[in-house]
């Protein structure tokens, strides 16, 4: 089916008490792996590219990959810009055909974040493209994004932020971090419940790579409707490639090692879909 927007599937997840798995993809093989996994499990899925990923290629090239796979799929597929770092990039993704946009102004002041987010929301609204924003700072490093001084999302600020921007979904900071964790993460689960009480739009969990399945499931019970997975997919893909080259360093056909990386990512995506509870929804 054609690519769909995130609005429909996130609302269904919110009403159904499950979450949508959102997977960062870096190449054609990862796009294939994610969509094939979703198809096998009859699950809706979101594909994501960060700002550094699209600088490596372009929004048009990644969109074309996603569209080609979505057109053959019988489950909903969304193409989402993850951590858009400027209004200009958000508009590039919008023009290219992305069906969901994130603008990340969390590193700005509260008022500056509101102004940037509302500008993107106002631009995307005529095209009926949903916008995700972030309030509070999710720590850690992912691509060019590095946050050393993480800050938790304040529930009352979150309520004001949503009311003033009209944003469609909100990524919240409750102690997660981008990349892998150096120790055991300590999540403020009660804070998530407080945010859920005052906000009725879908909530998003960033930094899920490295969290236990139990933590992710508990966050979903408390109101998370979308869970982002990135670093662990990269590791799975890379380990597949390296395993082939370690056994046979003379391998020269890229297909020989890329397909192993693809297989690793597919199995991981299937696992994460099940953790999110969105299998069998379509």
pLDDT in tens, 58-73: 999 999 999 999 999 9
215 catalytically annotated: no
Amino acid 140: pLDDT: 46
**pLDDT lower than 70: segments of the chain:** 137-150, 178-184
Locus of tokens 């408390």: 222
Break the chain into its structural domains and give their ranges: 6-231+263-276
> Per the residue annotation, which of 71, 82, 149, 253 is the catalytic one?
82
DSSP, collapsed to helix, strand or coil, labels residue 130 as coil
Tokens of 181: 């964790």
Distance CA 95, CA 54 (A): 14
Q: What residues have CB less than 8 Å from 70, skipping those under 6 apart? A: 1, 2, 3, 35, 77, 79
Strand order in the sheet with 139-142: 145-147, 139-142, 177-178
CATH 3.40.50.150 fits 6-231+263-276, yes or no: no
């Amino acid at each position: 089916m054609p690519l769909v927007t995130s609005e429909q599937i996130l609302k269904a997840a919110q009403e159904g008490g499950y979450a949508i798995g959102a997977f960062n993809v870096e190449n054609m093989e990862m796009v294939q792996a994610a969509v094939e996994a979703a198809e096998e499990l009859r699950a809706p899925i979101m594909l994501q590219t960060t700002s550094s990923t699209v600088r490596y290629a372009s929004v048009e090239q990644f969109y074309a990959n996603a569209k080609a796979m979505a057109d053959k799929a019988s489950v909903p597929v969304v193409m989402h810009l993850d951590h858009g770092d400027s209004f200009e990039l958000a508009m590039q993704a919008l023009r290219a055909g992305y069906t969901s946009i994130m603008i990340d102004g969390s590193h700005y002041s509260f008022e500056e974040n509101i102004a940037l987010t509302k500008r993107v929301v106002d631009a995307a609204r005529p095209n009926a493209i949903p916008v995700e924003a972030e309030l509070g700072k999710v720590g850690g490093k992912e691509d060019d994004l590095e946050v050393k001084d993480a800050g938790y999302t304040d529930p009352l600020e979150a309520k004001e932020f949503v009311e003033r921007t009209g944003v469609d979904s909100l990524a919240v900071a409750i102690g997660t971090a981008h990349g892998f964790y150096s120790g055991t993460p300590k999540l403020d689960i009660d804070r998530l419940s407080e945010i859920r009480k005052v906000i009725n739009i879908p909530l998003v969990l960033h930094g899920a790579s490295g969290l236990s399945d139990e933590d992710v499931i508990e966050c979903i019970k408390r109101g998370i409707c979308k869970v982002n997975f990135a670093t662990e997919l990269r590791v799975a893909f890379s380990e597949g490639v390296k395993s082939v080259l370690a056994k046979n360093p003379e391998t020269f056909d890229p297909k020989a090692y890329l397909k192993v990386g693809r297989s690793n990512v597919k199995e991981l995506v299937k696992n994460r879909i099940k953790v999110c509870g969105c299998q069998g929804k379509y």
